[in-house]
Structure 1
Amino acid sequence: MTELAAALRAAIARPGAPSSDFDLNPAAQRPENVKLRDAGVLIAIDLTGADPRVLLTKRASGLQHHPGQIAFPGGKVEPTDADVTAAALREAREEIGLPETLPEVIGCMPAHETVTGFRVTPVLAVVREPFQLMPDPGEVGEVFRTPLAHLMDPGNYLIESRRWRGMKRRYFVVPWGPYYIWGATARMLRALAAQMQP
């Protein structure tokens, strides 16, 4: 697994372009004078099992924003956070019970701009020791682990579309089993998959 951490470190050291929800929708208009809010998400790769797996959450169904969607642990940067990495680690502790000292942070990927006005920085980390999942029931409906190999295969990604706010919006999806991973989460994973290609 040491080789994987080295490969991840090399991947994010390669030049990578920022991504956004507008990548597949060039006709969509960014709202003028929008000040993007900074957020951090944790792409935590669990190395404690037979194969490396990425920790993902299914958001609680009662949430006002994005209920039931697949997401990384993470959220907006608070004034008490030193930076986006600290925000991502804090949110992972609050949402799924991952101790902040456990992830070995590899580094940050280029930020992803969401249509909802966030500048989201994916923080890449590996987890080498087991821990007890403790999902926050108010935010997280389920935590699951998806094989890294599946997510790093560009051939597993599709582009689908739906109507949103009166226009057709295209987005990446990377289905796995019963889970429909799509939108910003899929786009950030697709960006990592691209950077992992030699």
Structure 2
Amino acid sequence: MTANSLTLAQFLARFTLQPPAASAITLPRRQAAVLVPIVARPQPTLLLTKRASSLRKHAGQVAFPGGMMDSSDNSLIITALREAQEEVAIPPALVRVIGTLPAVTSSTGFQVTPVVGIIPDSIIYHANEAEVAAVFEMPLQEALRLGRYSALDIHRHGVHHRVWLSWFEDYFVWGMTAGIIRQLSLQTAGD
């Protein structure tokens, strides 16, 4: 292992997340959650998807598995785990949830809670072709490098927004997904 490599133990020691909530709290109506899956490899990776081009919203964009909270979901953690199972066949029982990041508001008006979880490297992904065009992994150490993200300031409906942009291989990572990864990086304790 090189001095520049990041192990899962180092990641867990460096980051401070909000602890997983055991029960749901009173939430606004338009709630959603995404799973931020960290694959437990010797050099951990971040699992991402490219959304199907046939989708009505956010078609072809790089994203985390996730979606809208169902009335049957007892918490946003359950929502993130259910959506990850539906989209890429990650069994909820195999996800070790380590916490959540602060919720962000999507351009479609949803409050989205990122749920960070560790998944074993033995999981075989099966993309739901109706929702996911591709599943790929990005080295966690590279994902967390703040210098890889560029800011773009835009005005939409009279409101200023800062959008984060980045490339990984042939994938354009931007918007909420890039912002969530960048926020995960900012959770570094002492860096």
Question: What's the TM-score, normalizing by structure 2?
Answer: 0.83
In the alignment, structure 1 residue 92 sits paired with structure 2 residue 84: yes
2:113 paired residue number: 121
Moved more, 129-138 or 167-176: 167-176
Cα separation, partners in 2 of 1:2 and 1:188, compared to 1, 3 Å: closer
What is the Cα deviation at residue 115 of structure 1? 2.1
2:18, 2:100 within 8 Å by CA — same for their partners in 1? no
Aligned pair partner of 1:40 in 30, 33, 57: 33
- CA distance in structure 2 between the partners assigned to 1:5 and 1:195 by the alignment: 10
For the aligned residues, what is the CA RMSD?
A: 2.2
1:46, 1:52 within 8 Å by CA — same for their partners in 2? yes
Aligned pair partner of 2:96 in 104, 107, 125: 104
1:56, 1:145 within 8 Å by CA — same for their partners in 2? yes
Cα separation, partners in 2 of 1:100 and 1:155, compared to 1, 3 Å: same
1:40-73: CA deviation from partner (whole Å, max 9, x where unpaired)? 100000013x411111000001011111000000
Residue 85 of structure 1 aligns to a residue in which SS? helix
Q: Which runs of 5+ in 2 are unaligned?
A: 1-6, 20-27
Which amino acid counterpart does residue 16 of structure 2 have in structure 1?
A: A
What is the Cα deviation at residue 2 of structure 1? 5.4
Which amino acid counterpart does residue 6 of structure 1 have in structure 2?
A: L
1:160 paired residue number: 152
Residue 135 of structure 1 aligns to a residue in which SS? coil
- CA distance in structure 2 between the partners assigned to 1:40 and 1:169 by the alignment: 21
Cα separation, partners in 2 of 1:160 and 1:152, compared to 1, 3 Å: same
- CA distance in structure 2 between the partners assigned to 1:139 and 1:38 by the alignment: 19
Matches within 5 A, 1:1-198: 1=7, 3-4=9-10, 6-7=12-13, 10-13=15-18, 37-48=30-41, 50-160=42-152, 170-198=162-190
What is the Cα deviation at residue 132 of structure 1? 1.4
What is the Cα deviation at residue 159 of structure 1? 1.4
Question: What's the TM-score, normalizing by structure 1?
Answer: 0.81
Q: Which runs of 5+ in 1 are unaligned?
A: 15-34
Cα separation, partners in 2 of 1:36 and 1:112, compared to 1, 3 Å: farther
- CA distance in structure 2 between the partners assigned to 1:58 and 1:94 by the alignment: 15
% identical aligned pairs: 36
Q: Give the count of matched residue pairs.
A: 176
- CA distance in structure 1 between the partners assigned to 2:163 and 2:188 by the alignment: 21
